[in-house]
Amino acid sequence: MNINVVRRYEKRVLSVQRYTHKKKLIALMNAKASLAIEGMYLTTPEEHLIMERLNGRVKNKEFLAYAMEIARNV
């Protein structure tokens, strides 16, 4: 789950902000741009897996297992 916790010390109240779909896409585009600078590119299955993880549809353990499977098949 993508939760950013912001503390407000004056009132000691926690505010929870969830990332919007647009912010998730921007983060993915920034990551792809960083990889492109290094000469690496994401495949469609890799992008799909990352978006599934960002949206919370895949748990971290499952994400790592799928990522390892993709890495072995390269």
pLDDT of residue 18: 80
Per-residue pLDDT tens for 2-50?
566 555 555 555 555 688 889 999 999 999 999 999 999 999 999 999 9
What are residue 12's DSSP bridge partners? Answer: none
Amino acid 74: pLDDT: 78
Cβ atoms within 10 A of the Cβ of 50, count? 19
pLDDT at residue 62 is higher than 80? yes
Residue spans per domain, the chain: 21-72
d(CA 31, CA 49): 14
Among candidate residues 73, 72, 74, 50, the one with its CA nearest the CA of residue 63: 50
Predicted local distance difference test score (pLDDT) of residue 8: 56
Q: Is residue 63's pLDDT more than 90? A: yes
Q: For the whole model, what pTM was predicted?
A: 0.70
